[in-house]
Every structure is written in structure tokens, then in C-alpha cells.
Structure 1
Amino acid sequence: MVRTQAVTFSKTGGPDVLEYVDIDLPPPSSGEVQIRHAAIGLNFIDVYFRTGLYKTPHLPFVTGKEAAGTVTSVGPDVDGFAVGDRVAYAGSDGAYSVERNIETKHLEKVPDGISLETAASMMLKGMTAQYLLNRTFKVGPETTILFHAAAGGVGLIAGQWAKALGARVIGTAGSKSKVRLALDHGYDHVIDYNTENFVERVHEITGGEGVDVVYDSIGRDTFPQSLDCLKRLGMFVSFGQSSGPIENFTLAMLAQKGSLFATRPTLFTYIATRHELTDCANALFDVVSSNKVRININQTYPLREVGRAHADLESRKTTGTTLLIP
């Protein structure tokens, strides 16, 4: 039994419900390894669980879905992993911890040349960008995209990746500094939605045609305007709801606005099998190792100050990637 620390909450609510506590960690079970985290990624999905927007399987609950660290112990019936391996994951609850046990089906080994901090900052966000651009809608040289929250963690990765695929890349952001940041990460045009009408600007930029696909993780504040940015037969990809859930969305709206397509994907569906997870992770490792996509860690917080990190994320004070350091 190992004495370690984790962040838990026993009731849903604001950042103040998060508690940094001591826990007893048993040896890893069959198919598990024990890892010590080097860094933990902060994501909006963590907020959704904390507030109750997404239901937790039980309370108290240790949230967090993305981290990287080193294997310290190996349980029975484990193949392919050994003590000392550098590993990372996205998708397994419980990342807000100094040490933890985790099933090896969630893990990928981190290649040499990529730090554990970089791995922790990019697994969930980078694999999200991978499936959005390569599977949900296959982006290529003939594609024009609109990506909301361009200066966010997924947005900064997606802008560079889409540009590497040859697309014309339009983004939105909420301040002059965030606009500049996005322009430095692959975007051809970035619209400040606080001072400009993004629907009008999209049509100006595209000569009235609209875009092939809109990637929207904002939700309530950008709907239904996102649909108005699409060309005929375009696709609306809603993959988050940082401003709140979309309401009053009827199928007839898609017909009225040009026989549009709409989807609500999640990363965890796209990496449901071991083969899909490995392919997705390897594609991410490749674009980062080749410097087509650079990962910027823009904020770090001690794990015990996770409440402050959540408050800053929700108030949109952060840009790009944020790490929690145990």
C-alpha cells in the first residue's frame, strides 16, 4: 500500500468543492500498472464533471483524463510494459493524483524526444485534433475550416495541423492577444468575436461561399450562428460546450440552412479499440516529432492549487495548454 495524494470532490459545484487529500493506493491489480505522474493535463471536460454537467459514476470522485508519468510497479498479467517506462494516456478518469493504478489498455509509451510534460499536455487535446481533422471530416488542400476557440488547447494544435494538411484555416478568439497567438499557430484569419460579427467576417473571407466545416467546442454562445457560416452541404462538428449546452436544435434547421450535416463526436468513441488508440497517438507523436505541430505549455499550477486553475480556465484567462504539476 502506498500513501499518496489526489484531488477529489464529494459534491458537484464550483472550484471550491475540489479537495487535495491523502489516499491509500493498493498494489496494481491484474492488467494494471502503477505510475507516478510527472504532469497532468487540464481540460474543460474536468469542469463538466465537477459541475455535474457530466454525471460521475460515484462520489467522491477523482477527475482528470490526461496525464503522463513513469511506471513504478507492474501488476499480474501485464505484457509490454515494465518499471521505468515513460507512458501517457487520455480517457481514463483519475488523473488528478500524484500516483495511480491504471489499466494498460489506456496507455501509450512516450517516444524518445518528447518530454513527459509535453505528452501530458497534448494527449487528449492532440488526439482530439487528430480525429476531428482526419476522421470526422477529412481535411485537405481544398478544405476551408472554421475553428472556434482558436487560442485554446485543441485550437492551437488544430490550426497548425490543418495548415500542414493544406487547408485554409479560419479561427475565432476572444481578445487581441488570443488573436495574435492563433495567427502564430497556423491560422490564416482569426476573428475577434468580441468586436466582430464572425458570421459576416467568414462570408467576407470566403467571398460569400462559407466554409466546408465548423468545429465548435463553445456550444450555446456560437449557436446557431455556426450553421450560418457553412456552405451548402457543409458539416457542423459540435465537440464541446464551454459556454453551456446547445438548446432548441431541430433537424429541420439543417434542411433550411443548406442540407447541412451535423455530428456530436467524442474522442473516446474514436479511440475505443487498442488499434484506434495506437494509430491516433502515433499520428500525434509523428506531427509533433516532425515539428509540424508545436506544443506550447502556457500555464502551470501545482496540483494542490487545482481550484485556481479551474477558475482561470472557466473565466477564459488561459490560452493553449495548462498543466497541473504533482
Structure 2
Amino acid sequence: MPSGGYLWWYIDALSDDGTHGLSLIAFVGSVFSPYYAWARRGGAATRPDNHCALNVALYSRHARRWSMTERGERHNHRERALFTIGPSQLHWNGSSLDIHIDEVGAPIPRRIKGRIRLFPEQLFGFSTALDTNGRHRWGPLAPQARVEVELQHPAQRWSGSAYLDSNEGDEPVERAFTEWDWSRARLADGSTAVLYDVEPEQDHGRLLALRFQRDGQVTPFEAPPQHALPRTAWRIARRQRSDSPPQIIEQLEDTPFYQRAMLRQQLLGETVTSFHETLHVPRLVSPVVQAMLPWRMPRRG
């Protein structure tokens, strides 16, 4: 990976009974890292492997947890089917992605420890550029999957549906983007619809509206109209494409530069539940926000 580049794997999941949810992002060259940004500004070549992190967020009424500790290169190890980040690990065994988590949140030191297993229903080799120069790419690996969660801290055990994708870039995100809105929803036939609105309302923006079928086919669909969503508590503007105005079911994350929420909306003639996120890059790279981030994202080594 080039200096200043990044790679991440993203998972979200919801229990079958709707009472538990999670998101997990494994970063190489963390795009959210203030330490990586400061190192780049120093002018020296910066190895992405020196800025790895496992972001874990758990959502339930009784046990919300969040952690994202960055690890230096001596604490990380990557192979074709194995990624070790400090005491945590992701391993592809040929049929499932096994994730062993041993993390502690900050500033409140609440532990997250246990095992997550993700079983893809279909693997995809699809990848597409998000920018005009092709330096930033995205693609789902398992848009339809099952997940089994067994945690000791906090104690919970559940299974449900899940989604796995990946983003990679040859340069920092701020060189190509100012903002995007992304969402994914599972449809009644088991396929997954993804909307990726990159640089919305800009002439150079790109809109992806893709349906990932259970047989491995990828088919575009006509994106519905754009609707403004209420601004977040941090006043981030966000939008979603839907056949009718969408409703926010639950606000999962609300930060100065990033938000994640669950929506109820009309899409392709169905009422669906969507995971939705917005990234606002100028906020991310602002000096004030960069100075705040170590409070939630400590670094080890």
C-alpha cells in the first residue's frame, strides 16, 4: 500500500429479533486517525501498517459499547487470510470470517471481548472506483451473510443477518472527497440494494445504485429521488434516496464528522430497513476535530 493510502473492511449486523446490532471496521492506514494525519503532515513517508485499528460498536438497549484503539506496526500482522491488530484478530478460514475481539473503550474503559463469526451466503469480486481518477475503490465482499455473536464482555449471544464490504485508496480521502451518503438494505428476495451517493449535488459526483443478487449477479437500478434527512446533533447535513420520505428508526452514531443511523424507507417497491451513513470530510480534517479525536481513539505503540 502506498504511503498515505488506506484499506478497511466494514461489517454491520442486526439480530433476528431486532434487539441487538453491531458495526465493525478493521483499518489499515486508518482514515479517521489523527496520528496518521499528523505523520503525513510531517512530510516523511508514512506506512499505513503503522496505523491500524479495530473499531467495534455494539448497539442494544442495555449494553452499548464503542472502542477504537490504534496500534503501531509492531503490534500488527497481516497475511493473506489473517489480520492481527494488537490482541484482536480477523481470520478467513475458507468458509467463514472469524473475528476474535479483545478491546477496551475510551475514555470510559469498558471492555469488549468475545467472538464473531460471519458466514457469507455468496462471495463477490465486484469493485468500482468512487472518484474520477480511480484512486479510491469500493466493493461488497459478502452483501448477504449470517452472523453468530458470542461475547463475554458485555455478555450477549445472538445470531442474525450481516453485510461485509471493503474500501481502499491510494491517497488520503480528503484529496478526493468532501462528503458522501451510503446505505444498504436487504430486500424480500434476499438480495441487497446499495446506494452510494458520492459528492452529492456536485457535478463531479458519482451515484451508485446497485442490487447484489443471491446468485452473484450485480444489476444497476434507477435511483429514487433524494430526500433531506434532519441534521444530526452535530449539524451534519445528510440525505437519502427513497421512493418516499424516509424515517429515522434509530441514531447509532453521531460525531462531528460521521453519522450512522437505521432508516425505514421505500425502495424498489418495498418497505425496507436501511443502514445509512454520512461522512463529512472537511469536518474530519479540521484542526479542532483532529485535536479531539485522541480522547476517543487512543494509540498504543
Q: TM-score, normalised by structure 1?
A: 0.25
- Would you tell me which structure has more helix in proportion to its own residues? 1
- TM-score, normalising length: structure 2: 0.26
* Higher Cα radius of gyration: 1
Bigger RCO of structures 1 and 2 (CA < 8 A, at least 6 apart): 1
